């Protein structure tokens, strides 16, 4: 019986996911690796976060998006699963917006973190 949980996300860009984890101070490893779970069970993941307890957290591509893969019984992160995913998703969205607007010729000219935790970005493009 598998103890792994797979939680769907809206995360589709690996580079933005990795940047989000880095922003959060998470020590992650890239490349196809095994996420370790209960009684030696493993799952493949493209991003792996090793935990001190010998059980890992990972993000695995399901063909559409990256799912969070972990044995939740051995979750050992500073935030709850929900808090962790909320913060990853926010930082992921930030990097996705910044990268996409830069690709379209915009620059971030102002950035403000609001009291509710949201981030306000002002982007600008100069035309010649």
Surface-to-core class of residue 99, CB atoms within 10 Å of its CB (0-12 exposed, 13-18 middle, 19+ buried): middle
pLDDT of residue 128: 67
Q: State residue 21 phi and psi, 5-degree precision.
A: -65, -40
pLDDT of residue 3: 85
Number of domains into which the chain is organized: 1
Could you tell me the pTM of the whole model? 0.88
Range of the domain at 18: 5-124
Instruction: Report the candidate in 110, 111, 104 with the shortest Cα–Cα distance to residue 125.
Output: 104
Is residue 1 pLDDT above 80, yes or no?
no
Model confidence at 117, in pLDDT bands (50, 70, 90)? confident
Model confidence at 127, in pLDDT bands (50, 70, 90)? confident
Average pLDDT, the chain: 93
Q: What average pLDDT does this structure show over 67-73?
A: 95
pLDDT of residue 126: 83
Q: State residue 16 phi and psi, 5-degree precision.
A: -70, -35
């Amino acid at each position: 019986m598998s103890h792994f949980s797979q939680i769907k996300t809206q995360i589709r860009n690996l580079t933005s996911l990795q940047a989000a984890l880095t922003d959060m101070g998470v020590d992650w490893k890239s490349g196809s690796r095994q996420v370790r779970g209960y009684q030696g069970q493993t799952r493949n993941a493209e991003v792996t976060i090793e935990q001190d307890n010998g059980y890992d957290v990972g993000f695995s591509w399901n063909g559409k998006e990256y799912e969070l893969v972990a044995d939740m019984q051995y979750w050992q992160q500073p935030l709850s699963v929900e808090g962790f995913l909320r913060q990853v998703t926010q930082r992921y969205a930030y990097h996705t917006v910044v990268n996409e607007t830069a690709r379209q010729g915009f620059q971030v000219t102002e950035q403000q973190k609001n009291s509710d935790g949201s981030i306000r970005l002002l982007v600008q493009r100069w035309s010649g």
